Amino acid sequence: MKTALIAGVTGQDGSYLAELLLEKGYSVYGIIRRKSKADYGNAEHIKDKINFIYADMTDLVSLVNAMKVSQADEVYNLAAQSFVGTSWEQPIATANIDGFGVANMLEAIRTVKASARFYQASTSEMFGLVQEIPQTENTSFYPRSPYGVAKLYGHWITKNYRESYNLYACSGILFNHESERRGKEFVTRKITDAVARIKQGILNILELGNMDSKRDWGHAKDYVYAMWLMLQQEKPDDYVIATNETRSVREFVETAFNYVDIKIAWEGSGVDEIGRDAIAGRTIVKVNPKFFRPAEVEALLGNPAKAEKELGWKRKITFPELVRRMVGNDMALVANELNCRKL
Ligand code: NAP
Ligand code: G4F
């Protein structure tokens, strides 16, 4: 039986990865942060199957302990301050967790069990102001947020430890991936939650920032499988994981409302753009500049050809299916919330 240690097990990806590894018969250890009230986040439903270890990416001693206790064969670092917007409000914390935290984990592996295989959650945010379209493993980086800059350090220190110490260390350069478990601060879940609330009459308007922004959106369940594949190869390497399709935030809004039979009619432009319910006529989407970012990543499009060829990875869940699942899930959650209010 193999043993895995997942940092970030309470997050979106960590919970899907834990499910995958448990299905494969792994003994799974998960890093959890001490909070005033115990909170297993997205891993609540599998909490009895995971061996939790209290640790923090900013605390080397706790990561050394996590390695000693777990004796993990595979270590997945999915822990991060993962919201780009917050990285301007907490640039130093973001650097400490998303950047130096990776060095802490690599040092813990190197000193406790150098034979362990390591996965680092790198990101398409590192491409930022994109230098070519589509982006591949060879595209130059140009991060546009404190988050992107911190992640770039994590990416390079992973490569450096591979080259310096011959560690089996890989980075997955993952493009946006979403799911029913996505935090509501991210644009996709913010939209699907609002669609469900507007449809069920408890919200009037969805307020968004830059609707021209384009992303390459996949489903998290497909993407955690790629993480596992990366650690099963003969040699460690870095891979882009993406769908090779890009859509604007506006298209995501249209698709999501379409699943609850609301067609959007757009009017105006820039900060004055609004979206009306084409039948009822009322405004249900508008722009609020408070959601604009100090520097934006305008468009991302990833080419996963290397992962498809070398790992045999292929995404299964299409964009319409991703949106359908997220809207369906939020419709059910909101209906449940309304039922509870009536009781
Ligand atoms: P997420 O849902 O925000 O999960 C982040 C996880 O990190 C949570 O378990 C969180 O624990 C943990 N964490 C935060 N700070 C920590 C610290 N100081 N010490 C230990 N754990 C800490 O993020 P996700 O969407 O699953 O993403 C997983 C990873 O992939 C992240 O590194 C993210 O930056 C990266 N990534 C994500 C995407 C995407 O589109 N989802 C794309 C590329 C890369 P709490 O529950 O205690 O907060
Ligand atoms: O959903 P987002 O916040 O995701 P973003 O910034 O692309 O970051 C996510 O993907 C990265 C991979 O590229 C990960 F590394 C990172 O951890 C995270 O998972 O924003 C997507 C786009 C942005 O251009 C943003 O400006 O949507 C735009 N947007 C427009 N209105 C909005 C909003 N974003 C948010 N969060 N909220 C809005 O109201």
Atom of ligand 2 nearest to the CA of 208: 39
Task: Please spell the DSSP secondary structure of 10-79, one letter per residue.
Answer: TSHHHHHHHHHHHHTT-EEEEEE---SS---GGGGGGGGGSEEEE--TT-HHHHHHHHHHH--SEEEE--
Candidates 74, 125, 178, 254; catalytic one: 125
CA 79 from centre of chain: 10
Asked if 111 is an active-site residue, the reply is no
Which residues have any ligand 1 atom within 6 Å of their CB?
Answer: 7-8, 10-14, 31, 33, 41, 56-58, 78-82, 97, 121, 123, 174, 176-177, 183
Q: Is 123 in the pocket of ligand 2 (CB under 6 A)?
A: yes
Atom of ligand 1 nearest to the CA of 13: 26
Instruction: Give pLDDT, residue 343.
Output: 83
Candidates 16, 26, 119, 147; catalytic one: 147
Asked if 123 is an active-site residue, the reply is yes
Pair of tokens at residue 321: 């299916």
Q: Residue 245 and residue 218: Cα distance in Å, rounded?
A: 9
Ligand 1: centre distance to CA 310 (Å): 26
Nearest-CA residue for ligand 2 atom 8 is 84
> Could you give the count of Cα atoms lying within 13 Å of 20 in the half-sphere of its Cβ?
20
3-class secondary-structure state, position 103:
helix
The alpha carbons of the chain give a radius of gyration, in whole angstroms, of 20
Q: Residue 49 and residue 100: Cα distance in Å, rounded?
A: 30
Instruction: Give pLDDT, residue 112.
Output: 98
Instruction: Give pLDDT, residue 252.
Output: 99
Give tens-digit pLDDT for 149-193. Answer: 999 999 999 999 999 999 999 999 999 999 999 999 999 999 999
Atom of ligand 1 nearest to the CA of 35: 47
Cβ partners under 8 Å of residue 48, min gap 6: none
Angle at 135 between CA 134 and CA 137, to 5 degrees: 140
Give tens-digit pLDDT for 197-226. Answer: 999 999 999 999 999 999 999 999 999 999
Ligand 1: centre distance to CA 270 (Å): 32
Instruction: Give pLDDT, residue 156.
Output: 98
Instruction: Give pLDDT, residue 34.
Output: 94
Q: Is 186 in the pocket of ligand 2 (CB under 6 A)?
A: yes
- Asked if residue 39 lies in contact with residue 9, where contact means CB atoms within 8 angstroms, the answer is no
171 C-beta neighbours (distance < 10 Å), count: 28
**Angular region, 79: left φ>0, alpha ψ -120 to 50, beta rest:** beta
Q: Is 194 in the pocket of ligand 2 (CB under 6 A)?
A: no
- Nearest bound ligand to CA 216? 2
Q: Residue 258 and residue 326: Cα distance in Å, rounded?
A: 13
Nearest-CA residue for ligand 2 atom 9 is 176
Instruction: Give pLDDT, residue 338.
Output: 96
Cβ partners under 8 Å of residue 105, min gap 6: 7, 57, 63, 75, 77, 118
Ligand 1: centre distance to CA 276 (Å): 35
Q: For the chain, give the mean pLDDT.
A: 98
Total-model pTM:
0.98
Cβ partners under 8 Å of residue 197, min gap 6: 203, 334
Ligand 2: centre distance to CA 187 (Å): 6
Q: Is 240 in the pocket of ligand 2 (CB under 6 A)?
A: no
Compute φ and ψ for 25, nearest 5 degrees.
90, 15
Q: What's the one-letter identity of residue 288?
A: N
Q: Residue 247 and residue 216: Cα distance in Å, rounded?
A: 7
Q: For the chain, list residues with pLDDT below 50.
A: none
Q: Is 6 in the pocket of ligand 2 (CB under 6 A)?
A: no
Q: Residue 76 and residue 195: Cα distance in Å, rounded?
A: 34
Which of 215, 219, 287, when mutated, tests ligand 2's pocket best, judged by the most ligand atoms within 8 Å of its CB? 215
Task: Report, in this order, helix, strand and coil percent for the chain, each rounded to 5.
Answer: 45, 20, 40
- Asked if residue 333 lies in contact with residue 196, where contact means CB atoms within 8 angstroms, the answer is yes
Atom of ligand 2 nearest to the CA of 178: 19
